[in-house]
Amino acid sequence: MENTKLIVSYPPYTKSKDSIEKVMYTVVFALLPAVVAAVYFFGLRALALIFVCSISAIGFEYLINVFRKQEIACFDGSALVTGILLALNLPSNLPYWMAVLGSFVAIVVVKQLFGGLGFNVFNPALAARVFLLISFPVAMTIWPIPFSVDMQTAASPLGILKTEGLKAANSITLWQAFIGNVGGSLGETSALALLLGSVILFWKKYITWIIPVSFVGATLAFTGIFHYMEPLKYASPAFHFTCGGLLLGALFMATDMVTTPVSKRGQLIFGLGCGLLTGIIRLFGGYPEGVSFAILIMNAFVPLLDKWDNYSNGKKWRLTKMRSVIVLTCIGFFSAFLLYMTDNITKEPIKKAIERVKVEALRQIFPFEFSDKDINIAFDKNGKEFFEIKNKDNSLRGIAVETSSDKGYGGEITILVAVSPDGKVFNYNVLSHKETPGLGNKIENEAFKKQFNGKTLDGFNWKVKKDDGFVDELTAATISSRAATDAVKKGLEVISNKYFVENKK
Amino acid sequence: MKTFKCGGIHPDENKFTRHLSIETMPMPKLLAVPLIQHIGKPAALIVKLGEQVKKGQCIANADGFISASIHSPTSGKIKKIENHPHSGGKFVKTVFIESDGREEWAEGLNTDEIDFKKLSLEEKLKRIKDAGIVGMGGAGFPTHVKLSPPKDKKIDTLILNGAECEPYLTADHRLMLEKTDEILKGLSIIASFFPDGLKIYIGIENNKPDAIKLMNEKASPLGFEVVVLKPLYPQGGEKQLINAITKRTVGNGQLPFDVGCMVNNVATAYAVYEAVCKNKPLIERVLTVSGMAIKNKKNIKAPIGTMFSDIVDYCGGIASRTMNLLISGGPMMGKAQYSFDVPVIKTTSGILFIDEIKLAEKKERPCLRCGRCEEACSVNLKPWLLSNLAQKDVERTLEYGLNQCMECGSCAFVCPSKRDLVHWIKYAKVMNANIKAIGATERQ
């Protein structure tokens, strides 16, 4: 008793085993599936980038600890989480020095200059990503294609949607996007890996369902409404769900404890705000992706949301079981309603809209003006659709038919060919293709199309010059040129079969 | 299984002494009896230095409405009266009594058991008041005051608190097992103060199945209902227990009788029985001696005024060289002591000897804003915000419900950054009280 040194401190004298390290390394563990997916799709360069980001983040943390004469806290896991999250937000072919610069912005500027762990207003990894995006717009928006050996690049699905429109974006299947086999930053491509990793966070109760569900729900609702109103202009909610950084943002960025509200009501509003802003930026903003901006903007509202509760009546807004059930049911019903809408009710408008598109296309390929009434649809014995343009006296002015060739570089090319009543090609229009942007898609150029003008099926070798034909192939796109030639020839063949061979008989 | 509505935690129970019977500790040579052992005004001393006192003799009278009298736990001589360390943390005027070893009871005390039904209400209340009984769960509110609530408050529910949700402590558990009949008689005495039609519940957490079984057997014939509770801290708190059993909510600034309830601890009920049926004042209590640093963990019945050093000797001494925490009470709401000379008082439910080096080295880390403290809070506060405001803008803590906090420590328990949330809340309370006092002086 005499030698015992007693400590006097305030209760409680027993504490839970939780610690900052435990929280942070659990998040790291939850990010592992996304890291594995990134390495699987983008190769070892992705792993190297993750290492560079993590180590530089920890290094900057250490340096600033030393500089600010703080306790060395660079191994508490928070810098590692920031590093990995930053890497997951970058394209895998980003130069290493840019990644290190990103770590510097994240750790030194956004985190430590605001006071260090627990005091930063903005999510460090996201702020650094936005910094890099604005500083190096080209490097930050060219995404390597998964599995490509020589780092071939492509736009991300959302980028395609923004610059080339819905038609091009629809060539990406949702399954492809869900497992992550699309262009994009390391972590955002695989929705599957992100969902898998987040399970542990939900299980450990490090995150609640409120922010992810309200965030994703609001995005889906917003994009869903526009998709329902104009299905050909706006992508479906499912596309917005699987493509881009929505899941990475909703599960790992918007649930960062430090920069999101503590109160449940605050979290609900935070999530809804993020979702709405994401939707607005994706549909109407200058950038294809809005998740980062949305979260950063909502970060700024956090202190306000947290101090909202009014204690004058001694009550605090709590997310009771009843309220959770109501919110979840509403979201569930709303989603189901949207699915029903998009699936059934949009069928008719889609069909009509497709017709409208074809009429537009027809106007482009015939060298003369005509009204909608002049179009007559005929069928051959195989049920193939022919668009006949009639004169006032009901005689034939021109015929158009949809044909396709599967010899394209990226798959099937579908075109609409217009032919005169005497079997001469007027012009054609590409309805859909998957050729390489900048090269193969030149088959849509007028200069290339012009070569076919006036050509008939007989008397011409329907091949490219390389194969002793008459068609001047496009530079570096011989395969695409061959496919286009093939498609036009096929169109001529079906038309001559129906109109000339049958007539001769 | 019932439990309270919001918040709550479940720390490791560590109830090592649950199977050990209560041992009666021999009378120590010197007892230190402080004059503050309850909430309210200190008792007024009525004995002089050098005076000879008998066991159970009143040495200090209740002074004022909320106060309780204090009795000599043994027969002997008043050796000195001076300020002495108290488990509340301050120096308190304390009467030192040197035992003469004869244990002579004062006249008319510790009689044979009488039937309490023969006594009138006034007589019963007088006996309870004269015995100096206070709430023995920890708060120490004088029981005679509690039993005479304002006339306009109608009590329809009486609850016996056998939750004992604090880790380590098993004193109430053992008392329920060993003094079941006496506790139930005490409860009947308390119930007799209120009109018929009173609903009587006995709330016990289901980590005490033997006590539940025994109580069920003996209480059901008397018309008392045993309520099995899901173990969750702080279920032993009055407001939480009322909520768990009756689903009523005791609001901000309300007292239990505002919702028609009254809660009494099992130890209090036992003391009431002894006071009314045997005319025995409150001079001893059952407490748990536990923790990894004490050689023999025990449940003991110790005289009030026994110094902790005597209890250490009785329990075989300290087993760990690295022991660094001496706690009066449980690990959640108890208080760390700086001296082994601190005496047992009426509200001491346990003494813990802890040797956790990690606790000694613990350091506050930055708040991650994870929100666990908010989840754990059973009175719906934002402990993280209160502790931040306490350090920056202490008056604003009042806007966020500072005074609703009962300092149960759930928030500090769950905090992954090991922040001293309770400390800062307590600090804010003191600072705000000071600001108010200064304001009042300035107005004068």
* CATH label of the domain that carries residue A52: 1.10.3430
How many angstroms away from the CA of A197 is the closest CA of chain B? 19
Sign of CA dihedral A134, A135, A136, A138: positive
Least confident range from A347-356, B28-37, B108-117: namely A347-356
Q: How confident is the model at residue A408 (pLDDT cuts 50, 70, 90)?
A: confident
Report if residue A9 sits inside a domain: no
Strands B199-205 and B261-265: unpaired
Per the CB < 8 A criterion, the answer to whether A220 and A282 are in contact is: no
Structural domain contains residue A446: yes
pLDDT recorded at residue B159: 94
Interface of B with A in 178-207 (CB under 8 A): none
Separation CA A217–CA A460 (nearest Å): 58
Instruction: Inform me whether the pLDDT recorded for A249 exceeds 80.
Output: yes
Residues A431 and A340 in one domain: no
In the three-class reduction of DSSP (H, G, I as helix; E, B as strand; rest coil), residue A460 is classed as coil
Q: How confident is the model over B370-429, as pLDDT tens digits? A: 889 988 998 888 899 999 999 988 988 888 888 888 899 999 999 999 898 999 999 999
Domain endpoint, select from B252, B278, B304: B278
pLDDT band at A340 (very low <50, low <70, confident <90, very high): low
Is the backbone of residue B296 left (phi > 0), alpha (psi -120 to 50) or beta?
Answer: beta
Amino acid letter, residue B248: R
> Contact B365/A257, CB-based, under 8 Å?
no
Q: What is the pLDDT of residue A391?
A: 82
pLDDT at A475 over 50: yes
Q: Report pLDDT digits (tens) over A55-93.
A: 999 999 999 999 988 888 888 899 999 999 999 999 888
Has residue B226 been placed in a domain? yes
Out of B278, B293, B319, pick the residue that ends a domain: B278
Comparison of pLDDT for A328 and B360, the residue scoring more: A328
Does residue B26 lie within any of the structural domains? no
Decide if pLDDT at A416 tops 80.
yes
Is there a contact between A5 and B422 if contact means CB atoms under 8 Å apart? no
The answer as to whether A15 is a domain residue is no
- Taking a C-beta distance cutoff of 8 angstroms, is the pair A493, A419 a contact? no
Residue A14 included in any domain: no
pLDDT given for residue A353 in this prediction: 58
Question: How far does A285 lie from chain B, in Å, by closest CA?
Answer: 32
Residues A434, A303, single domain; the answer is: no
Q: Between residues A336 and A114, which one has the greater pLDDT? A: A114
Looking at beta carbons, which residues of chain A come within 8 Å of B9? 16
pLDDT given for residue B232 in this prediction: 93
Is the pLDDT reported for residue A329 higher than 90? Answer: no
Is the predicted pLDDT of residue A240 greater than 90, yes or no? no
Q: Does A389 lie in the same domain as A335?
A: no
Say whether both A166 and A255 belong to one domain.
yes
Residues B272 and B383 in one domain: no
- Asked if A303 and A390 sit in the same domain, the reply is no
Q: What is the pLDDT of residue B428?
A: 94
Domain stop point among B255, B278, B301: B278
Q: How confident is the model at residue B116 (pLDDT cuts 50, 70, 90)?
A: confident
* Res A264 pLDDT > 70: yes
| Residues B142, B250 within the same domain | yes
Candidates A499, A365, A487, A367; CA nearest to A423 is A499
Whole-angstrom CA distances from B381 to A16, A306, B368 are 20, 12, 17
Which chain B residues have a beta carbon less than 8 Å from that of A1?
309, 312, 317-318, 340
Beta strands (DSSP E) in A124-185 are 143-144, 153-154
Asked if residue A449 belongs to a domain, the reply is yes
The band of A505, judged by pLDDT with boundaries at 50, 70 and 90, is: very low
Shared domain check, B393 and B260: no
Q: Is the pLDDT of residue A466 over 60?
A: yes
Domain for residue B39, yes or no?
Answer: no
Judgement on whether residues B270 and B388 belong to the same structural domain of the protein:
no
Same domain, B262 and B133: yes
Whether B288 is in a domain gets the answer: no
> Does residue B240 belong to any structural domain of this protein?
yes
A304 with A408, same domain: the answer is: no
A68 and chain B in contact, CB less than 8 A: no
B133 and B272 share one domain: yes
Residue B390 lies in a domain: yes
Say which residue, A11 or B410, is predicted with more confidence: B410
Q: What domain range is A245 assigned to? A: 20-308+316-345
List the single range of A359-363, A488-492, B107-111 with lowest mean pLDDT: A359-363
Per-residue pLDDT for A99 more than 90? Answer: yes
Q: Do residue A279 and residue A394 come from a single domain?
A: no
Distance from CA of B154 to the nearest CA of A (A): 24
What percentage of chain A carries pLDDT values higher than 70? 88
Nearest residue of A to residue B321 by CA position?
A: A4
Q: How confident is the model at residue A310 (pLDDT cuts 50, 70, 90)?
A: low
Is A313 a residue whose pLDDT tops 50? Answer: no
CB contact under 8 A, A8 and B368: no
pLDDT for the residue B125: 92
pLDDT for the residue numbered A315: 56
> B399 and A311 in contact by Cβ < 8 A?
yes
B331: nearest CB among A14, A118, A260:
A14
Give the nearest partner residue to B401 out of A9, A22, A314, using CB atoms.
A314
Q: Is A14 on the interface with B (CB under 8 A)?
A: yes
- Between A311 and A239, residue with greater pLDDT: A239
- The verdict on B401 touching A (C-beta cutoff 8 Å) is yes
Contacts of A315 in chain B (CB under 8 A): 380
Six-digit token string for A371: 């009204």
Distance CA B114, CA A500 (A): 125
- Domain-located, residue B181: yes
Average pLDDT over every residue of B54-80: 92
Q: Are A16 and B374 a contacting pair at CB < 8 A?
A: no
B138 touching A (Cβ < 8 Å): no
Greatest mean pLDDT among A309-318, B46-55, B434-443 lies in B46-55
Residues A162 and A169: their CA atoms lie apart, in Å, by 9
| Contact with chain B for residue A392, Cβ under 8 A | no
Mean pLDDT for chain B?
A: 90
* A334 and A461 housed in the same domain: no
Residue A224 lies in a domain: yes
Do A292 and A404 sit in the same domain of this protein?
no
Where does the pLDDT of residue A492 fall: very low under 50, low under 70, confident under 90, or very high at 90 and above?
confident
Give chain A positions within 8 Å (CB) of B318: 1, 4
The SS3 of residue A415 is: strand
pLDDT category of residue A97 using cuts at 50, 70 and 90:
very high
Q: Indicate yes or no: CB of A13 within 8 angstroms of CB of B334.
A: yes
The tally of domains found in chain B comes to 2
Q: Give yes or no: residues B273 and B379 share one domain.
A: no
Residues A399 and A321 in one domain: no
Is B153 within the bounds of a domain? yes
Model pLDDT, residue A319: 61
Domain of B263, in residue numbers: 125-278
Does residue A13 form part of some domain? no
Q: Look up residue A48 and give its two tokens.
A: 């190297």
Sheet of B52-53, strand order: B30-34, B91-99, B76-85, B52-53
Put simply, the answer to whether B409 touches A11 (Cβ < 8 Å) is yes
Query: What local confidence, expressed as pLDDT, does residue A317 receive?
Result: 59
Residue B82: which pLDDT band, with cuts at 50, 70 and 90?
A: very high
Share of chain A above pLDDT 90, in %: 26
Based on the domain organization, do A129 and A250 belong to the same domain? yes
Same domain, A52 and A124: yes
Q: Is residue A361 included in any domain, yes or no?
A: no
Q: What is the CA radius of gyration of chain B?
A: 22
Name chain B contacts of A6, Cβ cutoff 8 Å: 324-326, 336-339
Rounded to a whole number, what is the distance in Å from the CA of A15 to chain B's nearest CA? 4
pLDDT in tens, B122-144: 999 999 999 999 999 878 899 99
